[in-house]
Structure 1
């Protein structure tokens, strides 16, 4: 794939402040070299219109990879949300797919899917701030609007008809949040089903669990990402001056650099409160980011590893129970493996499930079920 690191690429430059394009509209596209290993016939980098978590219009970028035109699959679209790579705009999957993403995308392309890969808000595009990591609304809009922009487009891919969503870890969270959001936000999208692994369904519980441990960099990244998503609120009020500098630095780092820089450092080190997630404002933000606040109207396949050292399997089991109480069409699989190994182990069944979903017509319920928000 063509990359332009180290130089200014006008394709990824953000549009003016008065940007008002309707969500789900393709703004521009350019064909690029196909990433080695994906098995795709053609590929495009795209820029499209989406909405922030709180519905402010903004552009986002992504990647579209397509199989041979006569491949089985009927032009169905698979929105694949990759794992968390860091908070900076230079970490765009549309510029360079990670190894795990290449493996998953190639498996999907081989089965006839036109795969669309969102970069994430603030990633790829310049001048939009840090990636709003852990913001379910931002991730959902990014996924759904890319699928809408590509489906039916004559400019890229040739996708039409059915759509499905797949992700693991941060991508799994994006997938289920998109499924919950779709009926109200993108009812025009013919979404057939979702596969999601190791879903961070309860960010508040995970933050408390990971704080001061080997994954503490993800806790700090979560604070940076949600501060970006909720910038209309004074969510950085707890940060010390050193904390504000640390947050600005974190916004430039890859996930590996985040983990190395902030390993075993408690979040309270950067704040005026030892457990900032118990601050009333942060309690509100984290409660608003819980999954299962609404019921997806499509089948959902959940999977998780029993030895997951990052996201406890209890979180996915609880999500499964909450979705079942809401009447969601569910399937579930556990693997006797850790976080990274489960991503690979669960991919084959995830695609099998997605292939079955695209053959089913969506039958939305008369009224979408909801559960009360936590406070």
Structure 2
């Protein structure tokens, strides 16, 4: 059976035309990773992410790991069913996951949710770069500076994922207005228009310490995650200013302690350069996973 690669790209925005499916049509999505998969003769499927690609359902639940994992595994199941039908065989196509940035977060959580959510999938392994392992820590360290809009996007995305909770109560009137405007914007526009630190839009300078937010972040932290039963390849840029390298190396150490078959590769590059420089190593890791045994059910 032809292998299937689920490729989860990094954050493009909260709505509008930010869905990878639309970005692929308009030329806004990088094809380097996708082309590398196709050059191997494998099938590639790219999930949009929850609330992207369907009009009126936004904003995207940015940083909500369980939602991202389930969307990824749902698409994997659909791709596997199509592949099985095309080949008219009883065996399932082997699947590997690959993601970067918040896409890496989606990929590792999908591998952790695999056994309970989709044990029918023949998942063989996962490669994930610049993984956002703790959104609370990322918000605290990156709530100001050139990437401040990502903290705002995280607040918006998580408040959409946990819409039954009053999470936007931490915002001022200006903050509520800005959040509503940002719900349909691309990452590029967000970063250009909202350069103020997150506290600028909040009633309190430490919104992530709010009791309701602490509850949400506890559910999005590593303590709420499972343990993959497939091998994992993690990688990160040492000069990454978007997602600090400690985020990925900490996950690597955690997986080691829990007995996961995990490898680590660190590049002397920034966030964006690493995404490209890592492709040959990732492809070799994925090829190795596909030669390995099926994960236990």
Report if TM-score (shorter chain) is over 0.5. yes
User: For 1:321, which of 249, 253, 257 is the aligned residue?
Assistant: 253
Q: How does 1:196-275 map to 2 (within 5 A)?
A: 196-263=128-195, 265-275=196-206
SS of the residue aligned with 2:181?
helix
Residue 122 of structure 2 contacts residue 295 of structure 2 at CA under 8 Å; is this kept in 1?
no
- Equivalent residue for 1:83? 10
Structure 1 segments, 4+ long, off by >3 Å, are 98-101, 154-160
Distance 1:166 1:92, change over 3 A: same
Distance 1:309 1:149, change over 3 A: same
What displacement does 1:168 show?
Answer: 0.8
- Equivalent residue for 1:39? none
Q: How does 1:48-59 map to 2 (within 5 A)?
A: none
Residue 125 of structure 2 contacts residue 289 of structure 2 at CA under 8 Å; is this kept in 1?
yes
- Equivalent residue for 1:171? 103
Distance 1:312 1:352, change over 3 A: same
Q: How does 1:75-114 map to 2 (within 5 A)?
A: 75-97=2-24, 101-114=30-43
Rounded Cα–Cα distance in structure 2 between residues aligned with 1:261 and 1:200 = 23
- Equivalent residue for 2:215? 284
Rounded Cα–Cα distance in structure 1 between residues aligned with 2:21 and 2:85 = 14
Could you report, residue by residue, the CA deviation over 1:325-354 in whole angstroms, capped at 9, with x for unpaired residues? 111110110111111011111111111101
- Equivalent residue for 1:43? none
SS of the residue aligned with 1:118?
coil
Q: Give 5+ residue unaligned stretches, structure 1.
A: 1-73, 366-375
Rounded Cα–Cα distance in structure 1 between residues aligned with 2:83 and 2:137 = 44
What displacement does 1:127 show?
Answer: 1.9
Residue 152 of structure 1 contacts residue 158 of structure 1 at CA under 8 Å; is this kept in 2?
no
Distance 1:157 1:197, change over 3 A: farther
Q: How does 1:1-375 map to 2 (within 5 A)?
A: 74-97=1-24, 101-153=30-82, 160-263=92-195, 265-291=196-222, 293-364=225-296
What displacement does 1:93 show?
Answer: 1.6
What displacement does 1:100 show?
Answer: 5.7
Rounded Cα–Cα distance in structure 1 between residues aligned with 2:290 and 2:124 = 5
Residue 17 of structure 2 contacts residue 186 of structure 2 at CA under 8 Å; is this kept in 1?
no
Could you report, residue by residue, the CA deviation over 1:288-341 in whole angstroms, capped at 9, with x for unpaired residues? 112362100000000011111111111111111111111111011011111101
SS of the residue aligned with 1:358?
helix
More helix by share: 2
SS of the residue aligned with 1:152?
helix
Distance 1:184 1:154, change over 3 A: closer
Q: Give 5+ residue unaligned stretches, structure 2.
A: none
Could you report, residue by residue, the CA deviation over 1:105-160 in whole angstroms, capped at 9, with x for unpaired residues? 01101102100001111111112121000000111011100010111326987694
**Greater RCO (CA < 8 Å, at least 6 residues apart):** 2
Residue 177 of structure 1 contacts residue 291 of structure 1 at CA under 8 Å; is this kept in 2?
no
SS of the residue aligned with 1:236?
helix
Residue 299 of structure 1 contacts residue 330 of structure 1 at CA under 8 Å; is this kept in 2?
yes
Could you report, residue by residue, the CA deviation over 1:78-103 in whole angstroms, capped at 9, with x for unpaired residues? 00011110001422221232566311
Q: How many equivalent pairs are there?
A: 291
Residue 50 of structure 2 contacts residue 68 of structure 2 at CA under 8 Å; is this kept in 1?
yes
